[in-house]
Amino acid sequence: MVEETIFSKIIRKEIPADILYQDDLVTAFADIAPQAPTHVLIIPNVLIPTVNDVTAEHEQALGRLFTVARKLASEAGIDESGYRLIMNCNRDSGQEVYHIHMHLLGGRCLGPLLAK
């Protein structure tokens, strides 16, 4: 059995978050420790611990992550200047919450993807 995460409580609105978008498949909210002027987390409402746990039944929710990212980037005015979408998988990537989530970052030049 997969353990519930803090994101599960945000989805159910049991703990406060600046929710920017929510529907039956995904929830998006402002990151509490932003790394860029725009930093949003977009998560599936179903708990999927890592990308390694994704199955075909998750395809609709995972596709929705991208359409919501596009919508939120446009609303934030960063769709033309550019933004980055990041999804980490397991500890070496820096995944801290084991409920997959997409980071939407933008609002300034983000530089190279990885530090050398």
Residue 114 has pLDDT above 90, yes or no: no
Residue 111 in domain? no
- What is the per-residue pLDDT across 74-110, written as a single tens digit (0 to 9) for each? 999 999 999 999 999 999 999 999 999 999 999 999 9
Residue 115 in domain? no
Task: Decide if 101 is catalytic.
Answer: yes
Residue 54 in domain? yes
Structural domain containing residue 47 = 6-106
- Answer yes or no: are the C-beta atoms of 10 and 27 closer than 8 Å: yes
- What is the per-residue pLDDT across 3-55, written as a single tens digit (0 to 9) for each? 789 999 999 999 999 999 999 999 999 999 999 999 999 999 999 999 999 99
Residues in the chain: 116
Sign of CA dihedral 85, 58, 5, 22: positive
User: What is the pLDDT at residue 2?
Assistant: 64
Confidence of residue 112 (pLDDT cuts 50, 70, 90): confident
80 burial (CB, 10 Å; 0-12 / 13-18 / 19+) is exposed
- Answer yes or no: are the C-beta atoms of 82 and 74 closer than 8 Å: no
Q: In total, how many domains does the chain have?
A: 1
CATH of the domain at 63: 3.30.428.10
pTM confidence score: 0.93
- Coil, strand, or helix at residue 40? strand
The residue annotated as part of the active site, out of 58, 99, 101, 103, is: 101
Residue 77 in domain? yes
